Amino acid sequence: MAIEFTEKIRRIPVYPTAGGYSLGDEFAMLASNEAPFGPMPGVVEAATGAIQNANRYPDPSNLSLRRALAARFDFMPERIAIGAGSCDILLSAAEALLEPGAEVVYSWPSFSVYPQMAAATGARAVVVPLDEEDRYDLDAMLAEITAATRLVLLCNPNNPTGTALPLDAIEAFVAAVPRHVCVIVDQAYGEFSVLDDPDASVSLARRYPNVVLLRTFSKVYGLAGMRVGYALCGDERFRVAVEQVRQPFFCNAVGQAAAEAALLRQDVVTQRVEETVANRLEMEEGLREMGLKVAESQANFIWHSLGDGDEQEILDGLRERKVLIRSGGALGRAGWARTTIGTAAENRRFLAALRELVQQPV
Ligand SMILES: *Cc1c(COP(=O)(O)O)cnc(C)c1O
C-alpha cells in the first residue's frame, strides 16, 4: 500500500526545470533567464544585516518593502502585493480566483507555470495560440472570454518567445475585457523592453481595478536566488485575497531587505538594460547569420530555431562545450530553443559553439 494523494496531484504538470542549476562557473548558464550580473551594490550588506535578526519572524505585512515600492512607482502601498518570487503570487492568484467551473485564458507557448494554475484548481484552461509573429493574439483571446472567465494571463514580454506588445494594444484589450475578469500582466521582463517606457504601464493599474501588474526581483535585479516578487494591483482586494490563501510569513526577511536595497539602484537597472539590449542585437545578428529564425525579442533572452539538425543533439553538443540553453521542445515548440543573453563573453562562446553544431540550410 502507498499513501494516497489528491486527484490534482495527477493533473499538475511537473515544471520543466533547466538542469544544471549547480554546475557553477565554468558553464555559460543561458537556460534560466537569470541576470549574469551579481547582486547590486549595497544588496549583500543589507541581506547580511537582516540575517543578524534571523531568530525573529519577518514582518508579515512586508511594509518596509511595500513602502519602498510605493515610493518608486508613486503607487498606494495597500495595493502592492509581495510574494516569495512572483510565481508565488501567480499560484496564490490561482487559488484565490480559480475553481472547477471557472476558466483561465492564456496563450501558448508561454510561461510554464500557467498550466499549473488551472491543473491545481480544477479550472478550465482556455489556451489560445500565439499569432504568426509569436506574439499574444489579443483579439483571439478576447473572443474566448465568457461569463465563466475569471482570469486572463498576459505575459509581456512573453516567455519563451521574448516578443512583446505595445502598451496601447494592452490597454485596448484591458478596456474591452469585462470588469469581473482579472487581467494579470506578467512583466517579469518588462524592464528590458524598448517598445515603451516600462513605467508607463503603471497607469493601467491606476485606472483599471481588474488589472494586476506582476513583477519580480529575479531578472534585471539579479536576485533570483532570494525569491522576491511583487504585484501592483488595481484593487486592494487582490492583495488581501492572495494573502488569505498563503501562510503568514511567505517572504523571508533577508529577501525583503535585499530587494529593498536593490530597488535603490535604478542607475544599475538602466546600465544592465543598456548592456543587455546591445548584447541582444549582437546575438540576434549572430543567429541570423547562421540562417536561423529569430523571434523579435524585447527581453533578456532570444527564441530561435535550431535549423535542420536534431534538437537534442544540438543541446547535448552545446552542453559538451559548456553552454546551457533551454530546449524549445520542453517549452512548447520542438526544433526551437530559448537562449538567455549572458555576458558578452558567454554570448560569443554560445554563438561559436552553435555555429559548429547547426546544419546550414541549403
Ligand atoms: C522568471 C519569470 C517570472 C519570475 O518568477 P519568480 O518567481 O519571481 O522568480 C515570472 N513570470 C515569468 C514569465 C518568468 O519568466
What integer is the mean pLDDT of 266-271?
Answer: 97
What's the pLDDT band for 24 if we cut at 50, 70, 90?
Answer: low
Fold matches, 18-39+267-358 and 43-264: no
What integer is the mean pLDDT of 319-344?
Answer: 95
Residues in the chain: 362
Is the model's pLDDT at 23 over the cut of 90?
Answer: no
Question: To test the ligand 1 pocket, which listed residue (219, 246, 250, 302) has its Cβ within 8 A of the most ligand atoms?
Answer: 219
pLDDT number for residue 285? 97
Lowest average pLDDT, out of 17-26, 138-147, 307-316, goes to 17-26
Look at 309 and 152; give whichever has higher pLDDT: 152
CA dist., res. 25 & res. 32, Å (int): 15
Label residue 329 exposed, middle or buried (CB < 10 Å: 0-12, 13-18, 19+). middle
Residues 276-329 have pLDDT tens digits of 999 999 999 999 999 999 999 999 999 999 998 899 999 999 999 999 999 999
Lowest average pLDDT, out of 10-14, 160-164, 354-358, goes to 10-14
Closest ligand 1 atom, residue 228 Cα? 8
* Cβ atoms 295, 161 nearer than 8 A: yes
User: Whole-number mean pLDDT of the chain?
Assistant: 95
How far is the centre of ligand 1, averaged over its atoms, from the C-alpha of 123 (Å)? 22
Residues 221-261 have pLDDT tens digits of 999 999 999 999 999 999 999 999 999 999 999 999 999 99
Q: Nearest to residue 20, comparing CAs of 297, 272, 324, 280?
A: 324
Cell of residue 207, nine digits: 485606472
H or E, element range at 28 = strand 28-29
Architecture of domain 18-39+267-358: Alpha-Beta Complex (3.90)
Q: Which residue has the cell 537569470?
A: 34
User: In sequence order, what are the beta bridge partners of 337?
Assistant: 304, 327
Is the model's pLDDT at 108 over the cut of 70?
Answer: yes
pLDDT number for residue 68? 98
pLDDT number for residue 19? 65
Cell of residue 218, nine digits: 529575479
CA dist., res. 160 & res. 110, Å (int): 6
43-264 sits in which CATH class?
Answer: alpha beta
Ligand 1 first shell, C-beta below 6 A? 33, 85-87, 111, 155, 159, 186, 188, 216, 218-219, 224, 229
What's the pLDDT band for 362 if we cut at 50, 70, 90?
Answer: very low
How far is the centre of ligand 1, averaged over its atoms, from the C-alpha of 80 (Å)? 17
Tell me the DSSP string of 209-265: TTEEEEEESSSTT--GGG--EEEEESSHHHHHHHHHTS-TT-S-HHHHHHHHHHHT-
pLDDT number for residue 13? 85
How much of the chain exceeds pLDDT 70, in percent?
97
Q: Nearest to residue 337, comparing CAs of 308, 355, 316, 311?
A: 311
Nearest protein Cα to ligand 1, atom 2: 188
DSSP letter, residue 77: G
How much of the chain exceeds pLDDT 90, in percent?
90
pLDDT number for residue 20? 64
How far is the centre of ligand 1, averaged over its atoms, from the C-alpha of 243 (Å)? 19
What are the extents of the domains in the chain?
18-39+267-358, 43-264
Label residue 202 exposed, middle or buried (CB < 10 Å: 0-12, 13-18, 19+). middle
Tell me the DSSP string of 95-158: HHH--TT-EEEEEES--THHHHHHHHHTPEEEEEE--TTSS--HHHHHHT--TTEEEEEEESSP
The alpha carbons of the chain give a radius of gyration, in whole angstroms, of 20
Global pTM value: 0.95
- Count Cα neighbours of 155 within 13 Å in the Cβ-side half-sphere: 26
How far is the centre of ligand 1, averaged over its atoms, from the C-alpha of 85 (Å)? 7
User: In sequence order, what are the beta bridge partners of 28?
Assistant: 323
pLDDT number for residue 359? 67
CA dist., res. 107 & res. 152, Å (int): 9
